Structure 1
Amino acid sequence: MIEIRAAHDRGNVDMGWLNSYHSFSFGQYYDPHHMGFSALRVINDDTVQPGAGFATHGHRNMEILSFVLDGTIAHKDSTGNIETLPQGEFQLMSAGRGIYHSEFNASQQDSLHFLQIWVEPNVQDTEPGYQQKPFETRQGFVPIASPDGHDGSFIIKQNATIYQVTLAQETQQRFAVEHGRRVYVHLITGELEINGIKLQPGDGAKIAEECALDLVNVGTQPILALLFDLP
């Protein structure tokens, strides 16, 4: 079963300095039919104006992944991390028992575009943690976060694996789904077909009770997507 979460149906909050599209209920946007999917709680598609950003605020017991699509994030948190996160890099902040942080557009001229993703952890009140790095953009599935950190992926406190998916034009890949697992796919660029169902940029796919997924690039642009293998 594959249910499409269309990009144009997402919640939208435009605050001037921030224009955000919410795949799931978040902040001012509430939809009881879209409260998350398995342990995946938030996918926010954020565009931040030059010099603007999120002032210091707190989180607790959440795994927070950021992926910069364009621009640079200036990050600072209460555990002493002061970092910049450029285009193409990922950051995983494990809030654990509590962490405060700020995120700003590091540029005074150019906008910042990034995905903010929240995954609910399966353990509570752990030591806060911070991980950041770029991952290779090879063809197929590159693990970004996993419970055991395999293949150089971040360690995430949940029985979930997050993959970066890259498909060149006129190529396809198969993803085997373990019994009882659920999968969510968020398409960033290109035109993607999953088991015959087409997605456009910004679309998501909630997937359950499927044994395998055939992902096919049916457009003229390379595919960039995130795939969440969830409990």
Structure 2
Amino acid sequence: MVEFSNCFETTKTTNAEPEKFQRLLRIDYRMQRSDNVYSIYVSHLESDFSSATIKDFVNRYKDQKLVYIPRKKVTSIYSGYSIYENYLDDTEELIAINIDYIYSISYEKTPSAFIYTKTYKKLLDMAKKFTKCQLYKDLKVSTPKIYPCDLKDGTCSNFYIDYEGFKLEFSYSTGLEVEEKSFNKLLKKDEKYKDFFEKHDDGRLSRYLKFFEKYEV
């Protein structure tokens, strides 16, 4: 069983965080009959949504074995095989954990929304660059919405820059390209739009736009 007092004494506390960040309580939890350690994030422990602290957690649950805590969903953005950054989802759910299997308790600072991540800023730069091109002017589309397009198992690697139905898709594995549905719709609309795309040696058109470099984050 983990020594709660040691966890508390070895963890550094911080002063007030910038408004766009939220300090979370991170509980590393070793599942029963498994060597894997899972991270559970808690943003508050009370109904008044006060911030979770290690000291409060220890004092509250030190005499209990099974506890119910409000786990906060944290989405990880992947770059290759490494986590690039995290951001908070609005989802929160109660989860039961056995105190005996807590591996460690620490603080975690996580962006409270996707718009505060470095990935979002990179996508915004791409969106601004697109507004300067001829295709953007021809399509007469407006300011885009930017959002993740896959959230499988709490991880994300693909994103959309959505100009009211015309979507650019960014992936860490393939870079920036036009979403397939938007691509097909555009080519059916007018032959002239074919000029905006790269062509393979065998004559096939790539969904990559000619005037965009392949971004690396």
Q: TM-score, normalised by structure 2?
A: 0.22
Higher helix share: 2
Higher strand share: 1
Bigger CA radius of gyration: 2
Q: Which has the higher contact order (CA 8 A, sep 6+)?
A: 1
